[in-house]
Structure formats: C-alpha cells, structure tokens
C-alpha cells in the first residue's frame, strides 16, 4: 500500500502534462507510451487496473480473421501486423498457437472456402506464422479425438497468437512500465468530472478507499475509461464523433478437456466463432455475443446454457459438461466504436473492435473508443502523436517504451537461476519451469526474487494451496504492484481466482499469511473484506485443486 499512498500524495501536489482516466489496455498503453517518451503523466482508475473489459478477454492476440468475411481487409492487415509485432516484442508472453476449425454440414460455406481464406489471412500477415492446412474429417479426428466429427464436412488449421499469461497481468505490466518511466498512477481513484480552467484541466477525484476528494491538474485530459468513455464525457461536457455500443461475452473455465496445445474453433449455433482454449490444467470455453445497453453485466442462466449446449454438441466427452464442472466464469462487455449516423443497428454482429480516437483540439481532450489487446502498441503511439500535436513537449519521441528486456538481461537471469538450481524448486503440478514463469511475469525484476530465495529458501515455497505462487512473489507484489484489495492479486496480478475453485482459495491455510505479506497491519481487514464478498452464484467443482497460473501450455497472447 506504500506505493499507492505515495502516489496519492503526488497526484495532489503536481501538475501533469496528461491525466489518463482508465487503467485498462488503452489507458495503460497510453500512459506507458507518453511517460516512456518523457511526458509527465498521471493515471487513475476507479477500480483496479484492468478491472473491466481488459480482464474478461479470450486471451487471444489475433489478426481478426473473422473480419475478412465482411471485407474489412485494411483492418485485418493492420491487426496482423500488430500481432506479429507483439510476438516479436514479447516472445515469452505472446506466442503463436494453432487453431483447428471444424466445419459441420449445413454451414453457409464449403470448408474449402474458409480454408482459402486462411491462406489469404496468412499472406496478409506477411507469412509470419506457420502455414494453414486443410483437414478432412478423419484428419480432424486424428489430431483431436475429442471432436465429434460425425457431422463434419472438413476443416482447417491455421495460426494466430495467445497470451501465455493472464490478460489482466499483461495490462498491468504496461502500468508497471509506466510507473518505472515516472507515471504517477493509483487504482481505486474515481473521477467525478473534469472542467477546463485557463489552459489546464482540473479533474475532481475521490479516493474510494478512504472517501477523500481532491483535484488533479493537467494540460491534456485523456478519457480511456473503456465502456464508460461516454459517461465520463458527459461529466466533462465533451461532444464526440463516436460513441459506444456494447456486446456481452462470457467464458466458462472448466477442468482440462484435452491435452491439446491448440485452440479448437467452431461456429456456434448463432453463426459466431466459438472457442475451446487451453489454459494449463484448465480449459476456457466461449464466447457469447449478446447486445446489451449498459456496461454492467453478469452471467445468466441463459448464457451458461448457450455455452454448455454448444460445447456438448461439438465434443465427444465421457460425460457432458454441466454447471457442476464450472470452476469460474469471465463476463464483460466489448465496447464497440460507432458513429451515431453510422447505422450500427444494421449488422451488429459484424461490428469490429477497431479503436477510434476523438480529439477536441480547442480544449486538448482525447477520447479513446473501442480497441483490443492486439492493437495496444498502436494506441500508445497514436496517443503520443496526438498529444504532441496539442502542443505538449515530448522530450524523447523515438524512445521504445515497450517490449521485454534485452536478451543479455534474460541470459544473466537464466544463468543465475541455473547456478542456484531454481527449476528444481518448481512445484510438481506446475505448468512450466519456475525460471521461465518468473522471467515472463517479472522480467528484470525477477533477479530480486533470486536474491530473496538465496537469503531465505522459504521464499521459494508455494504459499497458497493449489497455485504456483511463491512467498517472494507476494513480497514483490507488495513492493511494486499496488495490490490494494485481495481480489487485485487473486484475479488480476495472478490468475488464481480463475483456475482454482473459490472454496479452495477460501480455505487455503496460506491465505492469511498471504494477506499479512501483502497488507501488513491491514491484513485482517483485507481478508475479512474478501471473505465477506459474495461468491460465484454458479456451482463450482471442488475436485481438481491443483493448478498453475500459466495460461495455455503451448509449445509453438487478446482480446
């Protein structure tokens, strides 16, 4: 909590070049890009960073193959280039994965037609990934015995990418990068509205942890509030060219259905792409696509029935999946950017996730609409360019603000890890060697953990039952990750709450010690707060209690 308290004081006392409202992927990348290039930046979120849309994705980093059917080739080309750039920039986190798509009889196209589309998709992606392959039903069955091919006409296999970790973790690493560049960031700080005074924006905010209110002054105001962009623009008197419409999507996390290291793709009963996504010892299935009027959504019985019905129709399981198999759910909205005169009601299901940035040059205000994880580096660069055009000095315009540390730093870490035989400490149920996981999640900061373990071997022990998390990781989270509530750690800095049954977490003997490490003298209050929260209303399966936090355990990242 010390980092957050220090930053709250700085938010009160300093003037900033830009205030970014919203710590999802758009706000996090904007703050990292601006501060990495030398601007003075503040970042606030009314909840936790990545606490809304950015933690509810499919964990896929893809070029938008589905947009080819609607002829949006320019967007597909842009997203494919963005995907490739992310794979190169984050090789430990954003990785290629194969998609196996099955086409059943009665589908609107013969399998050869979408297969030909995958070749065009591959070429539009600069042939960066492995080549597509056409598959007969027997080939599909040979690769994936779990697929019911009795009604299949054929299929194909092609490549895209996925996040080897949690989507919210990926977003937070941009926030952490922004902090390293000098951004003053704080979660649980809510904007109450902004007004223009002279040549500055004055934003009144409330600290949601203690109720205190204060103001933040900035030359530029960047509204990156995700699904709530329109709402905050009303508070600040902004009129924009775009607005949002919302599509609700849910995923169900269930015990692992197949040992496959690939994504299984189908066309659901409503014609939309439907995925079975590997997640270590778990499987993520979904998604739905339901138009809603508000960004506040929840999982309904109808949603669950849709996902379970679709998956049970397409897979041959020893026992059909039921509600009792659901370990956790993901539920959020996709904010889709439209123009009020654009006729968005005509073809809602084909609206794309492309982003739009509306700018009020007179008041120096930016509103970021839409967007997805795949496009995050473009959003950051575009925001920097627009802020420069608004007259803010950016001292280091050519600085590269993203990507993993250099190979030499990685090798130095791995060498130290080998010398101390770190991987021998890897938990038996872990999804990958400890050295790889620590490097992927913490980069150069992982070196600090090696020193913690050398000084005290207990720091290398797993603390919370059924997870891979070590004591030293919780110490790191307290020092550097602004964990304000227990859920921040369990659901967003880690993926524990997604892959471990809630009841297992609540009764873990290490949970109280974890709170003591994370919160010090506030430990009991934070633990009581977590235990008092309502659990998932859906039945959970308490059987498999051992799960690593690694995502799809693939050999060869969403949103």
Pick the most confident of 23-32, 279-288, 525-534.
Answer: 23-32
pTM: 0.92
Strands 41-45 and 189-197, how do they pair? unpaired
Q: Which is more confidently placed, 487 or 273?
A: 487
In this predicted structure, the answer to whether residue 549 has a pLDDT above a threshold of 50 is: no
Beta-sheet pairing, 243-255 with 152-163? unpaired
Q: How many CB atoms lie within 10 A of CB 16?
A: 26
On whether the CB atoms of residues 459 and 478 are closer than 8 A, the answer is no
Considering the chain, what is the average pLDDT of its residues?
A: 91
Nearest to 556 by CA among 177, 269, 260: 260
| CA distances, 175 to each of 48, 171, 336, 398 (Å) | 11, 7, 23, 20
Q: Where are the beta strands (DSSP E) in 78-232?
A: 94-104, 133-135, 152-163, 184-187, 189-197, 200-207, 213-223
Q: What is the pLDDT of residues 410-432, one digit of tens each?
A: 999 999 999 999 999 998 878 78
* Strand duo 262-267 + 152-163: pairing: unpaired
Segment 96-107 shows an average pLDDT of: 94
Map tokens 């790191």 to a residue: 476
Helix residue ranges, H only, 125-266? 137-143, 167-180, 229-235
Q: Which residues pair with 257 in a beta bridge?
A: none
Question: Above 90 in pLDDT, residue 269?
Answer: no
Tens digits of per-residue pLDDT, 50-88? 999 999 999 999 888 988 888 889 999 999 999 999 999
Q: Are strands 152-163 and 60-61 parallel, antiparallel or unpaired?
A: antiparallel
Mean pLDDT of 348-368: 87
d(CA 62, CA 67) in angstroms, rounded, equals 11
What is the DSSP-derived secondary structure letter of residue 125?
A: T
Cβ-based neighbours of 451, under 8 Å, separated by 6 or more: none
469-481 pLDDT tens trace: 999 999 999 999 9
Which run of H or E residues covers position 113?
helix 112-124
The token pair at 254 is: 């269930």
């Amino acid at each position: 909590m010390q980092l957050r308290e220090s930053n709250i004081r700085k938010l009160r006392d300093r003037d900033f070049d830009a205030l970014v409202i919203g710590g999802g992927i758009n706000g996090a990348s904007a703050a990292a890009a601006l501060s990495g290039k030398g601007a003075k930046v503040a970042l606030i979120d009314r909840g936790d960073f990545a606490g809304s849309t950015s933690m509810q994705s499919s964990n896929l980093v893809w070029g938008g193959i589905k947009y080819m059917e609607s002829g949006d080739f320019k967007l597909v080309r842009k997203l494919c280039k963005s995907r490739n750039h992310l794979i190169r920039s984050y090789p430990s986190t954003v990785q290629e994965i194969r998609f196996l798509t099955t086409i059943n009889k009665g589908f609107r196209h013969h399998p050869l037609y979408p297969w030909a589309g995958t070749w065009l998709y591959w070429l539009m992606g600069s042939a960066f990934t492995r080549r597509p392959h056409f598959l007969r039903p027997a080939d599909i069955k040979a690769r994936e015995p779990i697929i019911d091919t009795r009604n299949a006409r054929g299929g194909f296999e092609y490549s895209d990418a996925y996040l080897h970790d949690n989507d919210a973790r990926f977003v937070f690493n941009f926030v952490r990068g922004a902090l390293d560049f000098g951004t003053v960031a704080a979660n649980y700080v809510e904007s109450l509205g902004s007004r223009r005074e002279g040549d500055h924006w004055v934003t009144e905010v409330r600290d949601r942890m203690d109720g205190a209110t204060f103001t933040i002054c900035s030359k530029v105001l960047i509204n990156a509030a995700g699904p709530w962009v329109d709402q905050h623009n009303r508070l600040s008197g902004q009129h924009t060219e775009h607005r949002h419409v919302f599509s609700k999507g849910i995923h169900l996390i269930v015990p692992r259905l197949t040992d496959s290291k690939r994504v299984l793709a189908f066309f659901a009963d409503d014609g939309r792409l439907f995925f079975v996504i590997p997640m270590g010892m778990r499987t993520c299935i979904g998604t739905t696509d339901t138009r809603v009027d508000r960004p506040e959504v929840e999982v309904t019985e109808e949603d669950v029935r849709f996902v379970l019905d679709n998956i049970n129709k397409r897979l041959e399981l020893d026992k059909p999946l039921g509600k009792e198999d659901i370990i956790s759910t993901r539920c959020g909205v996709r904010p889709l950017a439209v123009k009020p005169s654009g006729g968005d009601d005509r073809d809602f299901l084909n609206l794309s996730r492309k982003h739009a940035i509306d700018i009020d040059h007179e008041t120096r205000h930016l509103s970021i609409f839409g967007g997805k994880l795949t496009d995050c580096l473009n959003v950051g660069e575009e925001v920097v360019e627009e802020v420069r055009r608004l007259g803010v000095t950016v001292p280091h315009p050519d600085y590269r603000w993203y990507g993993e540390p250099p190979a030499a730093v990685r090798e130095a870490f791995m060498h130290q890890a080998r010398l101390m035989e770190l991987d021998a400490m890897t938990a038996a149920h872990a999804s990958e060697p400890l050295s790889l996981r620590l490097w992927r999640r913490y980069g150069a900061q992982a070196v600090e953990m090696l020193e913690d373990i050398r000084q005290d071997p207990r720091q290398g022990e797993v603390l919370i039952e059924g997870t891979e998390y070590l004591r030293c990781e919780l110490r790191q989270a307290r020092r550097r990750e602004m964990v304000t509530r227990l859920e921040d750690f369990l659901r967003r800095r880690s993926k524990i709450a997604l892959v471990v049954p809630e009841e297992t977490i609540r009764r873990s003997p290490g949970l109280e010690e974890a709170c003591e490490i994370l919160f010090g003298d506030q430990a009991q209050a934070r633990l009581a707060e977590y235990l008092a929260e309502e659990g998932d209303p859906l039945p959970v399966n308490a059987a498999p209690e051992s799960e690593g936090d690694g995502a799809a355990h693939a050999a060869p990242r969403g949103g």
